[in-house]
Homo-oligomer: A and B are copies of this chain.
Amino acid sequence: MDLVAIGTIGYDSIETPTGKADKQLGGTAVYLCLAASYFCKVGMVAASGKDFLQEHLDLLTGKGVDLEGVQHLAGDTFHWGAKYHQDLNVRDTLFTHLNVLLDFTADLPPAYREAPFYFLGNIDPALQMHVIEQAKNPVFIGMDTMNYWINSEKYRPNLMRVLEKTQGIFVNDEEARDLSGEYNLVKAANEIRKMGPEHIVIKKGEHGAMLFSEGDIFYAPAFPLEVVHDPTGAGDSFAGGFMGYLTTQKRINNKVLREAMIYGSALASYTVEDYSVNRVASLENQHVDKRYQEFSNLMSFGK
């Protein structure tokens, strides 16, 4: 196992300015693993409910995702509803039915404990910490989180303990501001680095993503698309592509991390082209390489 990704399996009911889709396959772990599957052997740690369809399990295994870490529980699958504004960076959550997530324990199968790379999707920091404690010899632990955990007196202490153990954090601009107490993103990244992770990725939706490492900043734009159908999963696809690419490299340095930013952006850009996982689950490796090259065209200048 190259990479272990923990997060949610879910059914999403989404409305965007271009249409709506009810009870579609979603969840952070699903997007993470599908995106990473183009690069490496990835194992999923998540919980599914009794209503979770066999065809969706088949879709994941068909992409080479290892499902040994999935807990199949008796309740219903996590179900989330949201409506996006015309500015697709803004959405309103309509409902969140946690369902089987309440019984999810995030225990790792033995084979997963030997993995070198981990990604902790946005979930209760206590579960993120539990994964870290089971990892025997991690090389790079990436994490996501959200304002719900950041701004909670109850959860924040655990979150800070998780941060200390990670090498990379992926948050959006608002989360970076809440976590650091700094509005300016350069200052925010510097503050977050003091909390543990050496590498801070700040995701800005349609405005791209920035990587802040010690003494180094890299900017990856979002890919300019004529139609964005559904931004759901873009951030997790980004992280999956990023982490997946890292696993293919002997050494992690600024050059590799910059390339990982572009692969992450490539996967995210495909995800938003269609609803649910339709696009990110149906790519060939050549599509990923093509988009990487398109990013090079988008960003290159000078001699």
As a 0/1 sequence over residues 212 to 238 of chain A, the CB contacts with chain B under 8 angstroms (1 = contact) are 000001110100111110000000000
Contact A226 B298 (CB under 8 A): no
Name which of A46-54, A180-188, A270-278 contacts chain B.
A180-188
Docked Cα-Cα span, A300 to B259, in Å, equals 9
CB distance from A297 to the nearest CB of B (A): 8
Q: Does A207 contact B (CB under 8 A)?
A: yes
List of B residues within 8 angstroms of A186 by Cβ: 224-226
Interface size class of A (residues with CB under 8 A): 20 to 34
Q: Which A residues contact B (CB, under 8 angstroms)?
A: 17, 86, 183-187, 204, 207-208, 210, 217-219, 221, 224-228, 255, 258-259, 261-262, 296, 298-302
Docked Cα-Cα span, A262 to B302, in Å, equals 9
Assuming A184-B226, A207-B207, A218-B299, what are 12 further A-B pairs, CB within 8 angstroms?
Answer: A86-B183, A184-B228, A186-B225, A208-B208, A208-B221, A218-B301, A221-B221, A258-B300, A258-B301, A258-B302, A261-B301, A296-B301
List of B residues within 8 angstroms of A208 by Cβ: 207-208, 219, 221
Docked Cα-Cα span, A224 to B186, in Å, equals 7
Q: Return the 5 tightest CB-CB contacts between A and B, nearest first.
A: A258-B301, A207-B207, A219-B221, A186-B226, A299-B299
Choose among B204, B226, B296 the residue that contacts A187 (Cβ–Cβ < 8 A).
B226
- Name A296's closest neighbour in chain B (CB-CB): B302
6 sampled A-B residue pairs with Cβ under 8 A: A184-B227, A186-B226, A207-B207, A208-B219, A217-B224, A219-B299
List of B residues within 8 angstroms of A218 by Cβ: 298-299, 301
List of B residues within 8 angstroms of A262 by Cβ: 301-302
CB distance from A247 to the nearest CB of B (A): 18
- Name A257's closest neighbour in chain B (CB-CB): B301
List of B residues within 8 angstroms of A258 by Cβ: 300-302
Contact A259 B301 (CB under 8 A): yes
List of B residues within 8 angstroms of A255 by Cβ: 301
On whether A224 and B185 interact (CB within 8 A), knowing A207-B204, A207-B207, the answer reads: yes
List of B residues within 8 angstroms of A299 by Cβ: 218-219, 299-301
CB distance from A294 to the nearest CB of B (A): 9
List of B residues within 8 angstroms of A207 by Cβ: 204, 207-208
Interface centre among A228, A261, A262, A298 (most CB of B within 10 A): A298
Docked Cα-Cα span, A185 to B221, in Å, equals 14
CB distance from A50 to the nearest CB of B (A): 41
Contact A210 B224 (CB under 8 A): yes
Choose among B204, B224, B302 the residue that contacts A219 (Cβ–Cβ < 8 A).
B224
Contact A302 B259 (CB under 8 A): yes
CB distance from A228 to the nearest CB of B (A): 8
List of B residues within 8 angstroms of A225 by Cβ: 184, 186
CB distance from A59 to the nearest CB of B (A): 29
